[in-house]
Each structure stands twice: as structure tokens, then as C-alpha cells.
Amino acid sequence: MLCKIDKALYSGIYKVKEMLKKSLRILDLDKENGYYNGGQIIFGKNRFSSKVLSNFGDLIILEDIIPDYAKDAEEVKITAGCDKNFITCCNKFNNAINLGANR
């Protein structure tokens, strides 16, 4: 849990443009570079998930290798990450009151 916030408010469902070994390209990614850093990605109905190391442009770089069984996913759900920094908590999540609840 991200410090008691509603994860759905900081998640997006996106169509996959291309899958590589530990990264993928997303169609119409509508968040700024780094928004999903440290977050989580879930692949369609296959339910494979991985930590997001970084996002830049339409490229999402993952911590884990995408297994073959997940490579047919047409959509992914990506949830923003939190670095437990006060500025991030205030500016990204408007949740400074709960900072530390997850430490």
C-alpha cells in the first residue's frame, strides 16, 4: 500500500506497443518521465507483475524478465511508485499527513 492512498487514483491501463526482454513500449503513455519509477506493472489476464525501474517516453524498464507466458498481454496496468520522500509525498500524492505510515 502506498501510505494509505487509493492506488487506483495513481494507476493507468495502457495498450502494449512492443515487448522486449526486460522492457516494453506503451501506446499513449500520458505521464511524465519518472512518474512510474518504483511502481508496479501487471500484465493483463496473465497476472505477471514486476517492479518498474523507470519510465521514459513510451519506454518502461522492469526489474524482472518478462516471461514468455506474459508476452501475449495486450494491456498492462501500471501503478505509480513512491520513494518515501516528503516532497514526493506532497507533490505527487498530496499525502504528507500519512508519510511514515509505510516506513
Each of the 103 residues of the chain gets a pLDDT tens digit; together they read 446 777 888 899 999 999 999 999 999 999 999 999 999 999 987 679 999 999 999 999 999 999 999 999 999 999 998 777 777 666 677 766 666 544 4
Please give the DSSP secondary-structure letter assigned to residue 50: E
Residue 1, pLDDT score: 40
What is the structure's pLDDT at 99?
A: 60
Q: What cell does 37 get? A: 519509477
90 Cβ neighbours under 8 A, 6+ residues apart:
96
For residue 78, which of 20, 96, 28, 68 has the smallest C-alpha distance?
28
Domains of the chain: 7-98 (2.40.30.20)
**Residue 99 · residue 2 · CB < 8 Å:** no
Do 34 and 13 meet the contact criterion of CB atoms below 8 Å apart?
Answer: no
| CA gap 23, 80 in Å, rounded | 16
pLDDT of amino acid 55: 96
